[in-house]
Amino acid sequence: MNSFSVPESVFARLKCHICKGYLSVSPVSGSQGRYTCGRCEPSKYTNQLYEELAKHLSFPCIHESCTKKLTWDEVANHEMVCPHKPITCPIPDCSFKMESRMVSSHFKILHENLRHTNNIKAVVGILKNIAVPLETVYCVDFRETCYLVFVRLNNSIDGNSVRYRLKMGVFSLSESYNQNIKYRVSLELQSSKETTRVDKQQLSIPTYKDQLHCFQCLNKECTRKGHRNAGDFFTAKFTGLDSSNNMCVTFSVKLYDTTEVNLDKKLHSNNAGIAVKLECPICSIYMCAPIFNCPKGHSVCSSCRKSIKNCPLCKSIMGESRNYILEEISESVEIPCHNAELGCQFSGLVRDTIEHENNCSIHCGGF
């Protein structure tokens, strides 16, 4: 659609009388010089004549530092994710105000312990009764894009059991981030008597919008102007655990590019033979360093090595020789969980896969 230029003096008069922003978001309504935009009055009737004309204009961004010129259809989405949009730090105890593009630097200076690259792994020791929900926001810099990770944990006690609910959301601070970037969540709740675990993959990453993604909105308690009491959050529930024991929650978040994962899957088919070679011939568990050799080259894991004197395959006397080549391979090749045929989608380096299989939700039931 062709557009035409309008003098700045005219744009100065095309402003909402409530928010003082440009009349560039539908529905535009009002009369006698008192007009409102769709940011402030989203349910009003539309001034159709004005909007038909506005579709041919290029509007300035509502945020003063931004120099972009936007078509009628681009305005609403851009303004929500504009790098110059003023926002308040999402951490509950911090009220620092800044432009969206400064979030990563802000975390680096004031919240360095909450700033990560690619991966987050956190362990939270929790008493059996949480009077106030635990709420934390992490900043993750991945592939030149800044992401915010919201984590909210609370519980309730029902008789002798405690129920935990963890809500988590990952959001991009860029309007043009790679849509192939997804995230994976691993959650584990452990007491002295039992462990519950879940893994979720291929979770989508919405664009961060402070009017949707805040802890008050998440809990349906937000009263701030313009906020909508909604959000895009992953929810996990742990139930039926003995309330007489203290609990420990471990959660991890990993961002990854699905196009690279698909390539890895093709490589995994080529690595199928390697995965088999990494299985201990005694216990069938994948082997990682230290891996021991018999004189003829047969390998066993370190746990089984402690209980045998002779190689289980050729009966040679086992020494202390190590298979360093296989150890190096185990640290560089991703292999799937043994429960893949049952539906488990986990895949990782050997040591990570071994750790996962100890508590695989497919194997032990999960929740």
- What would the pLDDT profile of 29-46 be if each residue is shown by its tens digit? 987 778 999 988 888 888
What pLDDT was estimated at residue 23? 92
Q: Is the pTM of this model over 0.85?
A: no
Separation of alpha carbons 73 and 110, rounded Å:
37
Distance in angstroms (rounded) separating the CA atoms of residues 37 and 32: 15
Mean pLDDT value across residues 185-193 = 73
pLDDT band at 365 (very low <50, low <70, confident <90, very high): very low
Q: Left (φ > 0), alpha (ψ -120 to 50) or beta: where does 36 sit?
A: beta
For residue 94 the two structure tokens come to 């911090």
> What is the three-class DSSP state of 259?
helix
Q: Amino acid identity, residue 203?
A: L
Q: Which of 335, 327, 202, 203 is nearest to 264 (CA)?
A: 335
pLDDT at 194: 66
> Number of helices (H) and strands (E), helices first, in the chain?
11, 19
168, pLDDT greater than 50: yes
Helix, strand, or coil here: 155? strand
What's the rounded Cα separation, in Å, for the pair 349 and 363?
19
Question: Token pair of 243, please?
Answer: 């309330």
pLDDT of residue 110: 94
Instruction: Kindly report, as residue ranges, where domains of CATH 3.30.40.10 are found in the chain.
Output: 272-364
Report the alpha-carbon distance of residue 79 to residue 355 in Å, rounded: 44
Q: What is the pLDDT of residues 60-92, one digit of tens each?
A: 888 888 998 899 999 988 887 888 999 889 888
Residue 277 has a pLDDT of 76
Q: In this predicted structure, what is the pLDDT of residue 139? A: 93
Tell me what the pLDDT averaged over the chain comes to: 80
CATH topology of domain 272-364: Herpes Virus-1 (3.30.40)
Please say if the pLDDT value at position 267 is more than 50: no
**What amino acid is encoded at 18 in this protein?**
I
